[in-house]
Amino acid sequence: MADKQLRNIPYTRPSITEVEVAYATDAARNGWGEHCYDYIIRFEEAFKAHLDVKYAIATSSCTGALHMGMHALGIGPGDEVIMADTNWVATAAPIVHLGATPVFVDILQDSWCLDPQQVEAAITSNTKAIVAVHLYGNLCDMDALLTIGERHGIPVIEDAAEAIGSVYHGKRAGSMGSFGAFSFHGTKTMTTGEGGMFVTNNPDLYERVLTLSNHGRSRAQAKQFWPDLVGFKYKMSNMQAAIGFGQIQRIDCLTGVKRNIFSMYHECFKGLPVRMNPEPEGCTNGYWMPTLVVEDDIPFDRDFMISELKRNGVDARVFFWPLSSTSVQGRKAFFRPYISENIYLKALNLPSYHDLTDSDVLFVSDIVRMAIERSL
């Protein structure tokens, strides 16, 4: 091994510098009264410029952004929303909260993202949206999904919670669908602690979500404290936005470090029977979470590898469970052999954060390599 000394390596942690601290301090000291939205506005403006979209609304979470966006699209009881079975529950939760049904389809073998062929086959008269989740920074086949959506008159939603820094043929993840949603949870490449962002190029959808985000009070309403409808309270605080404003100014550095760390892992695992996050031609992967998948024909004990990593002070994450195997109130579109049903037992997310050193990457890689070679 590169270094036998026990370490403390979490799977992720944020990069906070004096830039973010200074903005947050300013917001805490001065961001009140008529200045209570100053950093929110600055953050939204900077974020939509980065994404090259027309509209952005800072939210308390990605889940909140999805909830409001889906509500604004009219999704409700009796409707169906197609999504990949391999996902975190946060994508399915707003669908269930709105009284609709998540319909789970399988993932592609290479990207671990939504299978467009299965999406089209799963469409019914009740289908009201398709949610494209860019898993671990990997990109969905947006050309195929957008074509399907257009052909059937169904909006495609981008859950880009994990895909800041990912680019699909010149367009940033989250900027292509009817709307996009981002997460700034403390585990993400950029963070506000908790928080998210709703983005869109549709002015009508923007106005509906803007109204929903303010307890249903339209900005055109002249009467004070008059709700035009029952909305939500998913606003981001000014202090969180101050941190986000500092983070978005450093976004190229933050995503660049993620890419460098992934490249080191990829080099270290050459010759092993594993696959990692893909980067198709014409695309850029933000590599939020470097992930390895051991080939199907190779015996692999995921729990043994996790225990070996933890025994050496290294944290690691399991791959997402198929949501159809949990208590989520959805249904499978098809009952055929599923990639989603097996891949989570053959996969692992590896540590990746701004100040992870080259020595740390080599240390983690040595443990992983030895655990896999033990199975050969």
222: which residues sit within 8 A by CB, 6+ positions away? none
18-249: which CATH topology?
A: Aspartate Aminotransferase; domain 2 (3.40.640)
Planar angle of CA 75, 77, 78, nearest 5 degrees: 100
Q: If you ran DSSP here, which 8-state letter would residue 185 be given?
A: B
What is the pTM for the complete model shown? Answer: 0.95
- Per-residue CA distances from 142 to 105, 171, 215, 350 (Å): 16, 10, 33, 26
Q: If you ran DSSP here, which 8-state letter would residue 196 be given?
A: E
Residue 182's nearest CA partner among 57, 323, 364, 296 is 57
252-375: which CATH topology?
A: Aspartate Aminotransferase, domain 1 (3.90.1150)
Sheet holding 196-200, edge to edge: 55-59, 196-200, 179-183, 156-159, 127-133, 80-84, 101-105, 331-332
Structure tokens belonging to residue 5 = 């000394």
Structure tokens belonging to residue 302 = 């995921």
- Helices marked H in the chain: 18-30, 38-51, 62-72, 89-97, 116-122, 142-152, 203-212, 238-249, 251-268, 302-311, 340-343, 358-375
Phi first, then psi: give them for residue 305, nearest 5 degrees: -65, -40
The pLDDT of residue 2 is 47
CA distance 91 to 88: 6
Per-residue pLDDT of the chain (376 residues; tens, 9 = 90+): 444 567 899 999 999 999 999 999 999 999 999 999 999 999 999 999 999 999 999 999 999 999 999 999 999 999 999 999 999 999 999 999 999 999 999 999 999 999 999 999 999 999 999 999 999 999 999 999 999 999 999 999 999 999 999 999 999 999 999 999 999 999 999 999 999 999 999 999 999 999 999 999 999 998 999 999 999 999 999 999 999 999 999 999 999 999 999 999 999 999 999 999 999 999 999 999 999 999 998 988 999 999 999 999 999 999 999 999 999 999 999 987 789 999 999 999 999 999 999 999 999 999 999 989 887 7
37: which residues sit within 8 A by CB, 6+ positions away? 238
> Could you state, in order of their start, the residue ranges of all structural domains in the chain?
18-249, 252-375
The pLDDT of residue 4 is 52
